[in-house]
A and B are shown apart, each in its own frame.
Chain A
Amino acid sequence: DIQMTQSPSSLSASAGDTVTITCRASQGIRSALGWFQQRPGKAPRRLIHAASSLQNGVPSRFSGSGSGTEFTLTISSLQPEDFATYYCLQYNTFPLTFGGGTKVELK
């Protein structure tokens, strides 16, 4: 199975900051990676697919990059509604696997 190592597990930031979250795959997954945001009590929603393609309706302050085994999600100019938990998902190979999550908290 492909392991997805996501870091950090949590971070504290202020509104207006830029933050970066990383997911590392235990083997190459091409660009078959998505990023998801989950607010408390809500279902996850996809932000990025194919490693770097922005989902329709998602603000452009979210961006993704990477391919192969190393991927990043960058949130520029954090807004109050961005304080949430973020997950990556590799969908290149079954079983699909999620990263452990990154909780972005208000400093």
Chain B
Amino acid sequence: QVQLVESGGGVVHPGGSLRLSCATSGFSFSGYDMQWVRQAPGKGLEWVTHIRYDGSSEDYGDSVRGRFTISRDNSKNTLYLEMNSLRGEDTALYYCVTSRGADYWGQGTLVTVSS
């Protein structure tokens, strides 16, 4: 079955950087668009970024554009999110999600930005 396992979350100071990974299995990763969605504590869902199945294009939400970079390694079935210049408002649970229509979700990895 489809499995998405996020890792790399943790506590980081404002202005710091973090790299999230999402290891996938159970489906043909190289044929699927992927994305990251986040959820701040006690808040709703916020779309973060999307990458095409072949890595040929990416899209970003306004709040992260220029600071976050999505990438993928189809040989390793793994999705990444490089996060720079982190702010307090980036504190959230980050979910790895398959396809543009968001059909499968991982369990999330928590990023806390705090001094």
Contact = CB atoms under 8 A, between A and B. Distances in A.
Interface in A46-75: 46, 49-50, 55
B106 A43 contact: yes
B44 A98 contact: yes
Contacts of A50: 101
- Give the interface size bracket for A toward B: 20 to 34
A29 to B, nearest CB: 12
Interface in B64-115: 95, 100-108
A34 B97 CA distance: 13
Contacts of B59: 94-95
- Give the interface size bracket for B toward A: 20 to 34
Contacts of B100: 91, 96
A98 B103 contact: no
B101 A49 contact: yes
B107 A43 contact: yes
A14 to B, nearest CB: 25
B27 interface: no
B45 interface: yes
Given A95-B59, A98-B44, A98-B45, A36 B102 contact: yes
B102 A34 contact: yes
Contacts of A101: 44-45
Contacts of B44: 87, 98-101
B53 to A, nearest CB: 15
B93 to A, nearest CB: 9
Interface of A: 1, 32, 34, 36, 38, 43-46, 49-50, 55, 87, 89, 91, 94-101
19 contacts: A1-B62, A32-B101, A34-B101, A34-B102, A43-B105, A44-B105, A46-B102, A46-B103, A87-B44, A91-B102, A94-B50, A94-B59, A95-B59, A95-B60, A96-B100, A98-B45, A98-B46, A99-B44, A100-B44
